[in-house]
Structures are given as C-alpha cells and as structure tokens.
Amino acid sequence: MFDQISEFVRQQLEGKCPTPCPLGVVLGSGLGGYADTLADAVRIPFKEIPHFPASSVAGHAGVLVAGRLHGKPAVLLQGRVHYYEGHDPDAVIFPARLLHGLGVRTLIVTNAAGGINPDFRPGDLMVIRDHLNFMGFNPLRGRLAEEFGPRFPDMSYAYHPELRALARAAAGDLGIAVREGVYLGVSGPSYETPAEIRMFRGWGADAVGMSTVPEVIAANQMGMRVLGISCITNMAAGILDQPLTHAEVLETTERVKDQFTRLLDEIIRRWKP
C-alpha cells in the first residue's frame, strides 16, 4: 500500500520539486509557518493523500509541503496526527512511513512539551536525548511488515548523536540557549496529574508530551536518523500552582516560534545528506 501512496505523492510533485527528498521535518504545534520558507513549494493537504489520517488539533494545519530548503530537497509536514484523536497506532505512524517512501532518511521532529525538570522554564528549547514510552502501546506491534525493517529494531540511539551535536553547535553560534533531556510520551488527551509528574521525574524524564514517540520508533525501524526538539510551553502539573490549558501551549509557541524556526533553519542549513 505504501508504495502506491508514495507513488501518488511523487506524481503530484513531478516536475514541480525534486524527489527523492532525503530530509523530512514534522512541524509541531504552532510551527507550521516555517513551511512557507520552502522554495519551489508544492502543497498537498493531508485529506487529498489516500489513507492519510486527518489532524483535528488547533495549531496543526494538516498539509504536506515539499520543496527546497537551502538548496536541499525536503518535505515538511504542517502538523501530525495523535493517538488521542482516536487514531490507531498504524495511523499515527502513517506519516513517518510515507516520508520514508518519499526518500526521507533524516527526520527532524518538533513538538510542544510540558517541563518536568524544575530548572526548565516555558519557552526553553530542549534537544531530545532519549525518550520514555508511557503511551500504552508500541506502534510496531502486530503483523510483521518486512518492508519497513526488523521486528526488533535497536533503540540505543533513537535520537542520533551527530544530529544532536549539530543542533547544539547551531544553537551556540546563534546565541540560543538550549536544554538537552529525556522526553516522556503519554497518550493524553488529559494532562498529567501532579502525582504522575512526580513519578515521571523519578524516572528521569525532563519533559512530557503526547506525540513524537511512536513516529520515532517507526523511523528507527526504517533506518532513519532522527533529531527531536521540544519547545517547553508550560510547566507540568504540580510544579506551578496554576491550571494547564492548550491555550497556554499555543501562546508560548507563538512567543518563541521565531527563535525556534531560526534554530531549525540553521540546523537544516548545516545538515548534509
């Protein structure tokens, strides 16, 4: 099925922008505007791609944009789909598998996350060093699809050390302070309780969110190199004496999106296929 869907998308791009596209970027909450910087851009709404699951979350436009960034072929997703929207695990990793079918071998994933590390502050950017899967499922469970890779993929370097070093170097030269830490994925959509956050901190988590982990597992199975960056949009439950809202998430991403996109753009400028 994915061969046919990838071919459908390639036909939409033929003669308009280069393929294959070795670089893929998943733009999380509030960051979709970065796709407007692509040269020779072709836009395909998710709903026009056969079997592509729909995104229903504010801040996720639901559009595939292909073109060139700093002269390099790339395909960007304005938004993602989440397990909490009612999608099954296969649907959640559908975009990652489609990107692989379009030639993506380096994947940059971005997200909004709640800060667990008490040294973090809303607006911080965190390069993901590793993750904890507390989502209640593994997206590779079930029938073995050999075309995507081994049943038991190694996750020792789920977030590639060279790409993390590239991100830190780019941030340093831009004068942008970045954190580095462990991202914990939960299924959502309710925010975590203070007791859960205390438990997660004891496990070594620095930030928590409702995405990223399934697509990174799938990307590693397919042999893709992954870089993950979180925007700490709020402090997790119980750290500050205030309620949590999605409006706060969007407000913080709006406030720091220029800094976030500058960092993302510099990473891509330095990246070599």
Residues labelled as active-site residues: 29, 60, 82, 84-85, 112, 210-211, 234, 246
Q: How far apart are the first and last CA of the chain?
A: 27
Torsions phi, psi for 25 (to 5 deg): -135, 130
Q: What DSSP state is assigned to residue 238? A: T
For Cα atoms 192, 181, 220, give the angle at the middle one, nearest 5 degrees: 95
- Give the three-state DSSP class for 241: coil
CB count within 10 Å of CB 150 equals 12
Phi first, then psi, for residue 71 (nearest 5°) are 80, 5
Alpha-carbon distances, residue 102 vs 20, 30, 52 (angstroms): 6, 25, 14
